[in-house]
Amino acid sequence: MEEKTKTNKRNQEIKGVLFLALTIFFLLCLVSYHPEDPSFTHFVAGGKATHNFTGFIGSYTADSLLRLLGFSSFLLPILFLLLALKYFLRPAFIVKKGRVLGFIVFVLTVAGLLSLIFNSGVPIRGETLKAGGLLGSIIVKILLYFFNKAGTYIILLVLFIITLISLVEFSLVSLTERFFQSSFNIFSLIKEHMVKSFSFIFLKLRKQKKSEPIIEKVAPVSKKTRPKKIEQARLDFAKTADNSKYQLPTIALLDDVPHKDSRVKRDSLVTNSRILEKKLADFGVEAKVVEVTPGPVITMYEVEPASGVKINRITNLADDLALALMAPSIRIIAPIPGKSVIGIEIPNLKREHVFLKDVLDNEEFMDSSSKLPIALGVNFVGTPVIADLTKMPHLLIAGTTGSGKSVALNAMICSILFKARPDEVKFLMIDPKRLELSSYGGIPHLIHHVVVDAKKASQVLRWTVEEVERRYRVISDVGAKSIDFYNELIAKGAKSKTFRETKEQQSEPLDKAENISGGLAGSEQPINHVKLPYIVIVIDELADLMMVAPRDVEESLTRLAQMARAAGIHLIIATQRPSVDVITGLIKANFPTRISFQVSSKIDSRTIIDQQGAEQLLGAGDMLFIPPGTSKLSRIHGAYVSDKEISRIVDFIKLQAQPLYDASIEKFQATAAHSQREDDDYDEKYDEAVALISELGQASISLIQRYMKIGYNRAARIIEQMEHEGIVGPSDGVKPRKVLIRKPPR
């Protein structure tokens, strides 16, 4: 088999060299054509040298071609060059008869157009030649007789476009669309640069306006003063950011990738079906392949077992079937939901790559009204899969290193950036690895800097919980039940009775029992009814957070998963270690929508998707997806987006606006850090130790050690804390310390 492949490749290279030689020969003989050289139409006595670079053979060839086809004969060396490149670059290339016929029609059409345009001929080295040759003139004469000049132009131009499309394999509509999109992007960039270049003019005008004296009538101060209004720490995105001129990035920023159809050929499908049936028969399983569905990465074989054959007899043969079909791994779906057959997914020998532009360039994504559409990739038959994050409402992702997890995360973020303005969606990104999400630093969609410290990340998650509670108070204040309905009411200017009463009493402090310290969600702040953006929290590595503060992170994620949907806050969490200490039962129960990329073991597969199968994936974006509202697994091949494409998208967005970070997050972090330091100094056995020394009436380090069975250092810290708080007196040599608090009554 290998020897045959080498022979075919050698033969193709020989053909490529021959066509390259023909290219050079025809190009030289046509370029160096001279009317005085010997030809079929001009006899020259022997002994006279020819002007043609390729001798008298070339002069005869050039004269024949130019008189027969005119200047359209220059298409021949172009054709031979393309054929040579095809044979060199594509070893399996075969010249099809339809292509040959199409090229002949194309050459004759060009000859006709040249004859029609240059009907008086073209002078060349002292002789006038027909621009389209003899054949071009005949074609034009026939067409002019029946259709006149205008009709002839239309027919020849239509034939030219049709044959060109069939030969080059390009879409006229997509080419026009790309041209206009590219032009639009270029003009947008020029506009932004011009605005930046002439910004000093607007600054001068603003300074002049500010320098003018302002005289206004001051209202008399009322004797009855009201409590001082507390300034709201939250940024009012509706007022501070002007997004009316913001332009969404277009998919023209993504790379154009040539499509290579790597699907399995019909002969291979039939061969694999026979091997599959034979291998099952060898193990005593009677079954028949009833349908085959080829795809870009895998091919699905639907197998119908005979009556009386148990399903587990087929599922247990996965490794044996992979060996027989020379596949790295196969996945068995037993049975396919809604069918009385078993699905066997076999990888293709040549895998077709899936790119983000292929997924986004479709009507489902373009016409989607959702602000949080996420592009996952294509299913096993090649259809793009677009999911809505608002319906999930949270997503948990797991996969080993190199499985395509981070690339899929980038594709999801980019797909949201293509649809949402900064006032519609905000991102809160947590990246302890400091690798993947740092590319998005500085985009106006960010509500905070990309968090890279795991300890700060747990505090940011606690802030988000407070923000959920604040949003619930704001949403319920106007009688709404979700963020979408709330934003509709705000857009229409509808206010409930509760809202009007709140506005009248806005400066009065609220109940202190409801006060939440240090956060944007503090209920001491007056309710300000503005449009609320969605907030998408992206965590690239959950395992790092669980190592630093497992209890706080688990509690925050659980509360967010349970409450945040109606408040417009959604989570996308990724981890490369899907173990039970990272994806705890509490977290897993609140994240029904999950994605598993390739994992290392069946245990990890069960941890993330509740069943095995993820360990048999192919990697590089191959995933199993549990859609919202169902437990049925869908196999999807993730879309690839390169770092250069991400940089282009981010740069395009950065040119239009600057990020407006929420100052309340920093304030909350500072307060939480202070509380954390106090909690770190507090010993859980401290209260028990205080009760012990008040009961005994004396205190010493050895006494605490002996009664509480703890180490010397810990007992010493407890005694020092008691002394600091005035519970015991200072040390007096070897004597026990004096207890300064009274013994509690019995």
Q: Looking at residue 641, which CATH number applies to its domain?
A: 3.40.50.300
CATH code, domain carrying 308:
3.30.980.40
Q: Rounded distance, CA 148 to CA 136, Å?
A: 16
If asked whether residues 23 and 82 sit together in one domain, one would say: yes
If asked whether residues 625 and 694 sit together in one domain, one would say: no
70 and 115 in contact (C-beta within 8 Å)? yes
* Range with lowest mean pLDDT among 10-19, 152-161, 164-173, 412-421: 164-173
If asked whether residues 366 and 294 sit together in one domain, one would say: no
DSSP 103-157: HHHHHHHHHHHHHHHTTT-EEETTEEE-TTHHHHHHHHHHHHHHHHHHHHHHHHH
- For residue 469, give every residue at least 6 positions away whose Cβ sits within 8 Å of its Cβ, in sequence order, or none: 516, 521, 563
Task: Work out the average pLDDT over 142-162.
Answer: 90
* Range with lowest mean pLDDT among 21-30, 131-140, 636-645, 694-703: 694-703
If asked whether residues 692 and 624 sit together in one domain, one would say: no
Q: What is the pTM of this model?
A: 0.58
Q: Kind of pairing, strands 395-398 and 594-596?
A: parallel
Number of domains in the chain: 4
595 and 377 in contact (C-beta within 8 Å)? no
Residue 127, domain member (yes or no): yes
Q: Rounded distance, CA 86 to CA 18, Å?
A: 12
If asked whether residues 342 and 365 sit together in one domain, one would say: no
CA angle 95, 101, 106 (to 5 degrees): 115
Residue finishing a domain among 324, 347, 370: 347
50 and 37 in contact (C-beta within 8 Å)? yes
> Which residue from 355, 360, 354, 352 is spatially nearest to 181, judged by alpha carbons?
360
> Which residue from 535, 537, 539 is spatially nearest to 433, judged by alpha carbons?
539
pLDDT tens profile 672-696: 554 554 555 567 888 888 888 888 8
Exposed, middle or buried by CB within 10 Å (0-12, 13-18, 19+), for 629? Answer: exposed
Task: Work out the average pLDDT over 371-379.
Answer: 89
CATH code, domain carrying 725:
1.10.10.10
> Which residue from 249, 208, 37, 62 is spatially nearest to 126, judged by alpha carbons?
37
If asked whether residues 326 and 365 sit together in one domain, one would say: no
Q: How many CB atoms lie within 10 A of CB 672?
A: 21
Q: Give the residue carrying structure tokens 């509808």.
A: 494
Residue finishing a domain among 289, 312, 347: 347
If asked whether residues 65 and 95 sit together in one domain, one would say: yes
Q: Give the residue carrying structure tokens 């009385």.
A: 340
Instruction: Report how far apart, in Å, the C-alpha atoms of 322 and of each of 251, 279, 318, 498 are.
Output: 39, 10, 6, 66
> Which residue from 328, 348, 333, 196 is spatially nearest to 655, judged by alpha carbons?
196
> Which residue from 2, 64, 62 is spatially nearest to 33, judged by alpha carbons?
62
What are 333's strand-pairing partners? 343
**pLDDT class of 174 with cuts at 50, 70, 90:** low
If asked whether residues 544 and 633 sit together in one domain, one would say: yes
pLDDT tens profile 180-233: 766 666 766 676 556 555 544 444 444 444 444 433 333 343 333 333 333 333
DSSP, res 513: G
Exposed, middle or buried by CB within 10 Å (0-12, 13-18, 19+), for 376? Answer: buried
pLDDT tens profile 39-49: 887 776 665 67
The 3-state DSSP class for residue 510 equals coil
Residue 701, domain member (yes or no): yes
Task: Work out the average pLDDT over 246-250.
Answer: 87
Residue finishing a domain among 602, 631, 664: 664
Residue-level pLDDT at 667: 74
If asked whether residues 366 and 321 sit together in one domain, one would say: no
* Range with lowest mean pLDDT among 464-473, 503-512, 576-585: 503-512
Residue-level pLDDT at 410: 92
Residue 508, domain member (yes or no): no
Residue 341, domain member (yes or no): yes
If asked whether residues 382 and 287 sit together in one domain, one would say: no
pLDDT tens profile 116-128: 888 878 888 778 8
392 and 499 in contact (C-beta within 8 Å)? no
**pLDDT class of 475 with cuts at 50, 70, 90:** confident
Q: Rounded distance, CA 577 to CA 377, Å?
A: 23
CA angle 487, 489, 490 (to 5 degrees): 65
Q: Rounded distance, CA 617 to CA 608, Å?
A: 14
pLDDT tens profile 338-362: 888 888 888 888 888 888 988 888 8
Residue 713, both tokens: 């250092």
If asked whether residues 273 and 343 sit together in one domain, one would say: yes
**pLDDT class of 327 with cuts at 50, 70, 90:** confident
Residue 651, domain member (yes or no): yes
DSSP 544-577: HHHHH-HHHHHHHHHHHHHHTTTTTEEEEEEES-
If asked whether residues 691 and 615 sit together in one domain, one would say: no
Residue 414, domain member (yes or no): yes
Residue 653, domain member (yes or no): yes
Long-range contacts of 175-178 (CB under 8 A, 24+ apart): 178/252, 178/256
Residue 358, both tokens: 């292929």
Domain interval for residue 700: 682-738
Residue-level pLDDT at 505: 43
Instruction: Establish whether the linkage from the previous residue to 335 is cis, with ω within 30° of 0.
Output: yes
